[in-house]
Structure 1
Amino acid sequence: MLYNDFETVVPKVSNQRKYYFIRTDHGRYFDEFYENGFVAIGWDPITLDDLKRADTEEVRLKVGRIKERHDIEDSIVKREITSILNKLLLFRDMNVGDIVVMPSYNSDRFAFGRVLDPHVYLENDNRGECPHIKRRRVEWVSVKNKNRLHPDFSLIRAHHAIFDISSDYSSRIDSLLSSVYQKDDYTYLRIDVGIEEEIPIQELIKIFNSIDRLAEEFRVKYPDFGEVTVKVNLNSPGDIGVKIRSSVHAMAFAFVLFTACTQDQVDSRNVSDQVVDIEPGIDQKTIENAVHSLQETRRSLNARMNENLDR
């Protein structure tokens, strides 16, 4: 990959983006939602007009009648009505670009997608199994098996139809959707370790040393080059998250790591030539050594993985 291409494909993630977990009817319509690019929510008698004025007493009474509860002053019923309205409002208020996480029926798969339209729409010509007509269009980005996700995702056990998971899961989801991205003045990079069994400590040390030597070269040449921090997930298959304050220098640094850690065959001289063109103060040999070391570690880990597959 050329540096100019890399710079244009690194997404800038808005810190206003929200993340929602949607489990309609316990995930029963997972395949239909995924194949047809939408999500839906129940409570069909609540109309779009009702959603626009969901905070009115009239709509609260309507929800109460749907629940077939007569004493709506009862504190338990009032809490249930509030909970239902809150779910409908979350569904209504999702914005274009917000992220939807959807589990399958038994939660062994999770789909990740982006909201495409600014409004709820009604599907009046329904030809699928899902009976619910209030829907949002979604561009599904990927589907992951549960055993390929961080264990934290197994903790999402709530059975609500929809809830906001932004505060707890945004960073994990961001790194799943893109292995390198910018957000809140920082550049983030995910390095996949990729093997199922225990990770040899020697290989981890090689990776950390390569990152540290490269970072030190940037720090010496550019005093404003930010601190590089890492977050390690050692749950197989693990990954290493790299974080650095965004700048032109940070982008060049991320380019070296991304190229060395994601591509099978890399010409270290070609990578160093591109970086030196942008950052003429950087020592070319340091870049080549970092690329070579990271590539060597990548090959070693891949070899271990292939050995296990052949057993």
Structure 2
Amino acid sequence: MNKQDIDRIIKSISKVKPTREYWFVRTQGGNYYKDFLKGNYIAIGYDEINLSDIRAANSNVSGKVTLTEIIKKKFPNEGRPGFVSHQLVDFAYNISKGDIVIVPSYSSEFISIGEVVETPIFQATQQLKDEECPFMKRKKTKWLKLDILLDNLDSEFIKLKYSQKTITKVDIEISNFIDRIISPLYIKENDAHLSLDIRKKKR
């Protein structure tokens, strides 16, 4: 193997940005799991809330208060309007291009892992005929790993299924595990990481 071959191998190794964030995004009890995968997007509800109001909430405290009041008015049965406001800001502005999203199927039996393709929300103009998801606020996503059986993963990772939030930011311990699922060999913060799948032969 010559130097050119070695350089080619090094260039082919996946490089993970240390600033990349990881998010667990629910799919309405798994109802829209297949729609997310087929349509290459993630989505959130509250279509009656304007993007301009979410933008204002991301900019200043008064905007957050205003958005919470709008949610109270438009969704009078919503018990946690301030929490919903925070989730909408997370979806619109904190989930960014290059971030990793994990979505669960019904009962969180399976998960799929994707990469957000662009930061801005795209507002779907109408629901497609072959999909059930009515949510218009969406983000384009490239799916990297599909239908992974959750029970086969690390026990720390399984804790995510018990989060009741629509959007949950994933902690660093679980994010490292996700990196290994996406690629067995990668470079992050100038360190190379290699994951080996070692299995014993049956006798």
Question: Shared fold by TM > 0.5?
Answer: yes
Q: Specify the alignment match of 2:193 in structure 1.
A: 188
Is 1:163 matched up with 2:168? Answer: yes
Q: Specify the alignment match of 1:253 in structure 2.
A: none
- Give the residue type in structure 2 aligned to 1:135: R
> Which one has a bigger Cα radius of gyration?
1
Deviation at 1:59, TM superposition (A): 1.8
Q: Specify the alignment match of 1:175 in structure 2.
A: 180
Counting aligned pairs with the same residue, the percent is: 25
Deviation at 1:66, TM superposition (A): 2.3
Q: Specify the alignment match of 1:60 in structure 2.
A: 68
CA contact (8 A) 2:27 2:105 kept: no
| Alpha-carbon distance in structure 2 between the residues aligned to 1:14 and 1:166 | 16
| Alpha-carbon distance in structure 2 between the residues aligned to 1:166 and 1:91 | 17
| Alpha-carbon distance in structure 1 between the residues aligned to 2:114 and 2:181 | 11
- Runs of 4+ displaced beyond 6 Å: none
CA contact (8 A) 1:96 1:115 kept: yes
Q: Specify the alignment match of 1:81 in structure 2.
A: 81
| Alpha-carbon distance in structure 2 between the residues aligned to 1:161 and 1:24 | 8
- 1:141-160 CA distance string (max 9 Å, x none): 00211233222222111121
**Aligned pair count?**
190
What SS class does the counterpart of residue 25 from structure 1 fall into?
coil
| Alpha-carbon distance in structure 1 between the residues aligned to 2:84 and 2:173 | 22
Deviation at 1:47, TM superposition (A): 1.4
CA contact (8 A) 2:27 2:104 kept: no
- 1:103-134 CA distance string (max 9 Å, x none): 10111111000000120111112112101100
CA contact (8 A) 2:186 2:192 kept: yes
What SS class does the counterpart of residue 85 from structure 2 fall into?
helix
- Give the residue type in structure 2 aligned to 1:173: I
TM-score for both structures, normalised by structure 2: 0.86
CA contact (8 A) 2:98 2:116 kept: yes
**Counterparts in 2 of 1:1-40, with a 5 A limit?**
2-40=5-43
**Counterparts in 2 of 1:80-159, with a 5 A limit?**
80-93=80-93, 94-127=95-128, 128-143=131-146, 144-156=148-160, 157-159=162-164
**Counterparts in 2 of 1:253-272, with a 5 A limit?**
none
| Alpha-carbon distance in structure 1 between the residues aligned to 2:177 and 2:49 | 34
Deviation at 1:5, TM superposition (A): 3.2
What SS class does the counterpart of residue 28 from structure 2 fall into?
helix
- 1:160-185 CA distance string (max 9 Å, x none): 11011143411011111111111122
**Counterparts in 2 of 1:210-249, with a 5 A limit?**
none
| Alpha-carbon distance in structure 1 between the residues aligned to 2:173 and 2:46 | 28
| Alpha-carbon distance in structure 2 between the residues aligned to 1:135 and 1:99 | 15
- 1:43-80 CA distance string (max 9 Å, x none): 111111111112513322111112316xxxxxx95xx2
Higher helix share: 1
| Alpha-carbon distance in structure 2 between the residues aligned to 1:30 and 1:18 | 21
**Which one is further off, 51-60 or 36-45?**
51-60
TM-score for both structures, normalised by structure 1: 0.58
CA contact (8 A) 1:18 1:166 kept: no
C-alpha change, 1:30 and 1:165, in structure 2 (3 Å) is same
| Alpha-carbon distance in structure 1 between the residues aligned to 2:123 and 2:184 | 35
| Alpha-carbon distance in structure 2 between the residues aligned to 1:118 and 1:187 | 28
| Alpha-carbon distance in structure 1 between the residues aligned to 2:12 and 2:125 | 38
- Give the residue type in structure 2 aligned to 1:11: S
